[in-house]
Chain A
Amino acid sequence: MLIALPDGSRREIAGDIARIEDILKQLCINPEEVIVAKNGRIVSEEETAGGSDELKIVRFVHGG
């Protein structure tokens, strides 16, 4: 699984299908600060990802 991280770097992670919540935990990313797209579509942390999925993790902002 290919993961694009909020800092713009990319990481390849091998392994079983996992919940996105757990993937974020593994990457030490606070789920309250990001949204995650799986194969281009925003998904909730309860979804799972693995195999050939591509995840993109983006830090969203709140200022105005």
Chain B
Amino acid sequence: MLSDAEKKRYSRQIRLFGEDGQERLLRTSVFIAGAGGLGSVISLYMAAAGFGKIRIVDCDTVELSNLNRQILHGNADVGRAKAKSAYESLTGINPEIEVEALVETISEENIDQLLQGCDIIMDAMDNFPVRYLLNRAALQRKIPLFHGAISGYQGQATTIIPGKTACLACIFPRAPPASVFPALGSTCGVIGSIQVTEAVKYVTGAGKLLENRLLFWDGLNGCLDEMACERNSACRECSDGEY
């Protein structure tokens, strides 16, 4: 049951999915992998929307070159752990939810522990090796993974539902070569917002998810495009019948 303050805080979105939908958001525990460009947008919108428990993980400290896009952090945070700065921003925007911000490097060794109790995974990473770890953990736990990635004016997003859709390794069987990528804050805004919209839809049961569809944003030409994808029967991650 929502409190009067919660009814007021979330009144504009209660018009979309009712008090029941809002209660579902408040009962949802979210894992956000990364507090960088995508993680900033994702975590701020999820906190503001009232996802009840947010666990955000990042091992880095804030650098001056992050501030063009990583809107969780401010000038005064340069040199501080991103997780600490994230905690302050998120509890500042919504003190009524539970925020856990951890300074950790996500690895094969700790991913199980990090994901404990989480219902959904938000991909805000900057590399594919860790994304593949998130993908495998999502498959094992049978919880959704909301994928997003950006570079410059470009981005992509898809929603992975274990047992139902193609997994990340079906769509991207191998990681692209590692490189320093150009980054524009507004591209993180577009893709991160799409990921949060997907999570809201998933939790409240509204609309049509980006299932088996890879969405592309080309900001330079102002175009959205999509490609259909399907489970790969030879996928190294999800084809063994377990998922």
A residues neighboring B (CB under 8 Å): 8, 30, 32-33, 35, 37, 40-42, 44, 56, 58-64
Chain B residues with CB under 8 Å of A40's CB are: 227-228
Chain A residues with CB under 8 Å of B232's CB are: 44
Contact of A63 among B149, B171, B173, B227 (CB under 8 A): B149
Chain B, 92-146, CB within 8 A of any chain A CB = 123-128
Chain B residues with CB under 8 Å of A63's CB are: 37, 126, 149-151, 181, 183
Q: Say if the beta carbon of B172 comes within 8 Å of chain A.
A: yes
Say what secondary structure dominates the interface of chain A: mixed
A47 smallest CB distance to B (angstroms): 11
Contact of B174 among A32, A42, A59 (CB under 8 A): A32
B121 smallest CB distance to A (angstroms): 13
B residues neighboring A (CB under 8 Å): 34, 36-39, 123-128, 148-152, 154-156, 171-178, 181, 183, 188, 214, 216, 221, 225, 227-230, 232
Chain B residues with CB under 8 Å of A30's CB are: 177
- Tell me the complex Cα distance, A37–B8, Å: 46
Q: Output the nearest chain B residue to A58 by Cβ-Cβ distance.
A: B216
- Tell me the complex Cα distance, A35–B225, Å: 13
- Tell me the complex Cα distance, A30–B230, Å: 23
B213 smallest CB distance to A (angstroms): 10
- Tell me the complex Cα distance, A63–B172, Å: 14
A37 close to B39 (CB less than 8 A):
no
B36 smallest CB distance to A (angstroms): 6
Given the known interface contacts A8-B221, A61-B154, A64-B124, the answer about A35 and B37 at a Cβ–Cβ threshold of 8 Å is no
B177 close to A42 (CB less than 8 A):
no
- Tell me the complex Cα distance, A56–B127, Å: 24
- Tell me the complex Cα distance, A32–B126, Å: 17
B39 close to A64 (CB less than 8 A):
yes
A-B contact pairs, 17 of them (CB 8 A): A35-B214, A37-B228, A40-B227, A41-B227, A41-B228, A42-B214, A42-B227, A44-B232, A58-B216, A60-B176, A61-B149, A61-B181, A62-B128, A62-B149, A62-B176, A63-B126, A63-B181
B126 close to A64 (CB less than 8 A):
yes
Chain B residues with CB under 8 Å of A58's CB are: 216, 225, 227
Given the known interface contacts A41-B229, A58-B227, the answer about A64 and B172 at a Cβ–Cβ threshold of 8 Å is no
Contact of B172 among A35, A37, A41 (CB under 8 A): A35
- Tell me the complex Cα distance, A30–B123, Å: 25
B41 smallest CB distance to A (angstroms): 10
Which 8 pairs from chain A and chain B are nearest by CB?
A61-B151, A63-B181, A64-B126, A37-B227, A42-B229, A64-B38, A41-B228, A63-B151
Chain B residues with CB under 8 Å of A33's CB are: 176-177
- Tell me the complex Cα distance, A62–B228, Å: 19
Chain B residues with CB under 8 Å of A8's CB are: 221
Given the known interface contacts A32-B174, A33-B177, the answer about A61 and B228 at a Cβ–Cβ threshold of 8 Å is no
